[in-house]
Each structure stands twice: as C-alpha cells, then as structure tokens.
Amino acid sequence: MRALIGSLVLATALFAGGCGGAQTDAPKVEQGASPAALTIAERTVPDFRMVSAVLTNRDVGDARARIGGRITQILVKEGEKVRAGQVVAVIGDDRISLEADAAGAAVRAAEATSQQAQQDLQRAERLFSSGAISQAAIDQARSGAKAAEAQLQAARAQAGAARALNSQGQVVAPSTGEVTRIPSPRGAVIMPGEVVVQITTGAPVLRIELPESEAANLKQGESIRFLADDSEEPRFATIRQVYPAVSSGRVMADIDASGIDRQLVGGRVRVMAPAGERVAIVIPDAYIDTRYGADYARLSRKGGIVIEVPVQRGSRVPLEDMPDGVEILSGLRAGDVILPVERAS
C-alpha cells in the first residue's frame, strides 16, 4: 500500500513538473486500472431544441358573472372539486336588491288589501242576503275584491321577476371539474360577463409552437421531455395532439402534463422538442466526478496510467443501454478508455 501511495505521489509530481506552473486543479495522474473500463464510442442520439411552452388547461369552463356588481360571497377555493350547476359565488347589485325588496313589500301590501276586500265582500253578502243593502252595493263589493285580487297577482308576478333578476347574482359552475383560479377577491366590483371562478374539466397541457419546417418530428402519442419549476431534471410526457399549420406557418402541439402541479398553470416551462438525430459522446453519470463545480473523468492510458481530465457536461441523454447517460461536450473523444469514479464508501 505504501508503495502504491509513493508511486501516486511521484507520478503526480512528474506530471505537475512537466506542465510548468500548473494550477492545483490540474489533471491528476494515478497508477492502476479498473475492471469497469469503458471504451467511448460515438452514439446516435435524439437531437432536441429547447422551446418555451405555456402550461395551460385545454378544457376550461369559466363561471362568469351574469350581472354587474360587487362580489359578496366566494363559496369555493382553488383546488376544490365542484359539480355542474353548483353556486360558486354571489354577486350583489344594490339597485336590484332594492327592487327585490320593494317588490316584496308591494306583495305584502297587496295581500293585506286583498284580504280586507274579501272580508268586506263577505260582510256585504250577509247584508245583501238580509236585504240590508242594495244590488249596487254588493256589486261594488264584488268588484273591489276582484280588483284587489288582480293587484295581488300583479304584485306577485313583479316580485317573482325581481327575485329572478336578483338570483342572476348567483354565479354557477358551468361544468363539473376543479377550481383552478379565482381572479378577483370578495368585495371586488365586476362587470357582466367577467370571469369570477375558473374551472378546468381536464388535465393541464403544455402548449408549444414551432415553425412548420421544424415540427416534422412532433408525433402524436410519442414521448417528449420537459423541464418545469426551474428544475434541471427532465420529466417525460406524451404528445397529446398536433395541430396542423393553417396560415401562420406555425404548428401548435399540446403535451399531456397531468403530473404537473396545477399551481404552475399559466406559467412557462421548457420543452425539449425533438429535432432529428445527431452524433454525440455519451457516458454514464457514474463516470463523472464533480468537485467544486467542475466535472472530471478518469482517462486510462497505456501502461496503467490513469489521468483525471476536465470534461464539459451537457444534458442528460437516457439511452436504452445507458439510462443514466450524460452527453460530454468536450474533454473526451471516441476511442478513449475511461474508468468509473472511485467514491468513498
């Protein structure tokens, strides 16, 4: 063991001396070899173009205000499940509320008048039966009761219309789904037709646009990678639908994003859009050693010499026979033999 350490120290000193004023992080030289040596070969890998995508909902049902006014109640919260027809908020209009109150008061007054007219008619009929009043008097009592009843029916109809108008302040869910957004808080004044609660009926999608000339590799049903929420670890999704270019010369595609947090809806993420194939150097992640922000690979040379060389790491390129594959942009070439990193146990 001491002989091996001495050899390592000597080899390192010889390499540093040959490089003149080398930095402390210059490549190291080691003796020995590993049975897990890997000979690098150029690989044909999928090529990608990083495209900005909008995370949105394709199937959205907006619960809109039917009247203008102030939001007096919000009866749901974001993330809550709702059913079609459910009241999700209430809009209050002072003018409509006053009209409804006035109509209710008119009904109560008409009911009292009608009740009094009926009582007067009953008394008049008794008097007429005993001959105490004339035919004209009983006819007048009957006409008064009939008029009071007509006024009552009219008041009730007007009150019903006022209540119906007042009920327009109820904001209902147009479909069954999940609340994704409530744009205005309680107390806000809104106009008729304005969105009060946004409801999605389906999973979110990533929507991208590409020039028609670059969209040939977008295939419905195929897998595609994307980066979300400032993560550098790609996730996989399926291309749900590709919309053909009509007049703009651009192709739009929707990508299934059911695994993404709905809180990100409306934000932008990055999609690795397929752009054909290319030749690249790809090695397993286990063969890359990262120290102090720099990446190194252990390069095996003739005679059992192992040199630690700096490499430039690219993106992850998972391959069928190399699921942890990483592209190397510089530092290695085809034919090089590398060794896995010796990690402390």
**Residue 324: CATH number of its domain:** 2.40.420.20
Return the ∠ at Cα 225 (arms to 220 and 227), rounded to 5°.
135
The pLDDT value given to residue 259: 66
The pLDDT value given to residue 6: 37
Are 100 and 170 found together in one domain? yes
d(CA 92, CA 178): 24
d(CA 157, CA 103): 9
The verdict on residue 157 lying in a domain is yes
Are 117 and 22 found together in one domain? no
The verdict on residue 267 lying in a domain is yes
**Residue 236: CATH number of its domain:** 2.40.30.170
d(CA 325, CA 320): 9
The pLDDT value given to residue 207: 84
Closest CA to 46 of 279, 239, 246: 279
Say if residue 13's pLDDT is above 50.
Answer: no
The pLDDT value given to residue 262: 60
Structural domain ending residue among the three candidates 225, 248, 275: 275
The pLDDT value given to residue 7: 35
Structural domain ending residue among the three candidates 139, 173, 198: 198
Give percent above pLDDT 90 in the chain.
Answer: 19
Instruction: Note down the domain range covering 329.
Output: 2-45+278-339
Say if residue 26's pLDDT is above 90.
Answer: no
The verdict on residue 38 lying in a domain is yes
The verdict on residue 127 lying in a domain is yes
Are 175 and 289 found together in one domain? no
140-150 average pLDDT score: 89
The verdict on residue 241 lying in a domain is yes
Are 20 and 75 found together in one domain? no
Are 67 and 118 found together in one domain? yes
59-73 average pLDDT score: 84
The pLDDT value given to residue 14: 31
The pLDDT value given to residue 344: 61
Helix (H) or strand (E) holding 72: strand 69-74
The verdict on residue 147 lying in a domain is yes
For residues 63 and 197, is the Cβ–Cβ distance under 8 A? yes
For residues 251 and 244, is the Cβ–Cβ distance under 8 A? yes
Higher pLDDT: 92 or 195? It is 195
**Residue 182: CATH number of its domain:** 2.40.50.100
The verdict on residue 345 lying in a domain is no
Q: What confidence tens digit (pLDDT) does each residue in 158-215 have?
A: 887 777 666 778 889 988 888 888 988 998 998 888 899 988 877 778 888 888 877 7
Are 179 and 156 found together in one domain? yes
Are 191 and 65 found together in one domain? yes
The pLDDT value given to residue 328: 93
Are 109 and 165 found together in one domain? yes
Are 185 and 111 found together in one domain? yes
d(CA 22, CA 5): 21
The number of domains in the chain is: 3
Q: What confidence tens digit (pLDDT) does each residue in 246-290 have?
A: 557 788 888 887 766 665 555 567 787 877 788 999 999 999 999
Are 167 and 237 found together in one domain? no
d(CA 262, CA 265): 5
Structural domain ending residue among the three candidates 255, 275, 295: 275
Residues in CB range of 262: below 8 A, 6 or more apart: 79, 178, 180, 200, 204
Are 140 and 86 found together in one domain? yes
Say if residue 83's pLDDT is above 50.
Answer: yes
The verdict on residue 132 lying in a domain is yes
Are 293 and 326 found together in one domain? yes
